[in-house]
Structure 1
């Protein structure tokens, strides 16, 4: 990605400098969403066990919504005068997280790992909402809508990981592998 993120023009009411700040945040969001889409499909293809069909079918609507979110982010980025860098090479080069670490595994193990993926994504998105909220309410609104959807998807995942007593089986996990193992030990 070019080092310059300041566009030559932007939407009315924003300076090109402010648009550049928004573009930088949105590009990171685009990478996050593209990565999540691929991760969800990876889980969809590699989930096994007695909960296979429930998890397999639960993930497709999430994949579709995450793809739509990425499209919305890319289009907002372009409207602000930026370039939406959506190639795999740029994503891998610029991401600040490691690749998803669970291969073919039991559905509950994947859900344990996905819980951590969603936690990281939601935490980063909350920080982005705070940053863009100081600059542009339209971009803030876009990200808040996505935050609600991603939190709902995590709730769907966590419903499989919660004990009858209300404890999350992955509550103390710090890695995807650890979360997968803790989820399997419930």
Structure 2
């Protein structure tokens, strides 16, 4: 049952909703990974990477909110519960414990590659069913690719 009347036909709503839900999960996981790395970071580039990780967490949370609200506007109930994130995220696992700055940067480079690839697939999936959701995903991808570039540049130090 949906509480909100969708502006989309049911089939289109399901496709857009699935893309938005999967993106929400990936963004929430990315924000958690960034905070995990932020809290456990050490090394000579501690300060710059520490600040950069906080930026990633904030960007991921902000975009997650926008994605979740778009899903709700389509009549799709967004699910950001911990169990849902753990069970459906497509991001690679991040190690527990203390993390050297270079290892954290390398892990984030891989995280961004995974999430960007997945969001780009969703851009294609939503193109014929919901241009508004597709546009949201395109804007998100631009920001993720900007962050990816910054971590890749940091990793070349």
Measured against the shorter chain, the TM-score band is: over 0.9
2:97 alignment partner, SS class: coil
Q: Work out whether 1:56 is the aligned partner of 2:56.
A: no
Residue 121 (structure 2) aligns with: 127
Cα RMSD after superposing both structures: 1.7
Tell me by how many angstroms 1:77 deviates.
0.6
Equivalences, count: 157
Tell me by how many angstroms 1:103 deviates.
3.2
**Structure 1 consecutive aligned stretches of length 4 or more whose deviation exceeds 3 Å:** 6-11
Residue 109 (structure 1) aligns with: 103
Report Cα offsets for 1:127-163 as digits up to 9, x if no partner.
0111111211100110111001000111110112236
Higher relative contact order, chain-length normalized (CA < 8 Å, sep 6+):
2
Q: Work out whether 1:11 is the aligned partner of 2:10.
A: no
Tell me by how many angstroms 1:97 deviates.
4.6
TM-score normalised by structure 2 residue count: 0.92
Report Cα offsets for 1:38-80 as digits up to 9, x if no partner.
0000111111011000100112222111101000111011110
Residue 41 (structure 1) aligns with: 35
TM-score normalised by structure 1 residue count: 0.79
Between Structure 1 and Structure 2, the one with more helix by share is 2
Matches within 5 A, 1:19-168: 19-101=13-95, 103-162=97-156
88-97 or 124-133, larger mean C-alpha shift:
88-97
CA contact (8 A) 2:27 2:60 kept: yes
CA contact (8 A) 2:15 2:125 kept: no
CA contact (8 A) 2:4 2:73 kept: no
| Structure 2 residues without counterparts, runs of 5 or longer | none
Report Cα offsets for 1:58-117 as digits up to 9, x if no partner.
122221111010001110111100111111012212234553125312111110111111
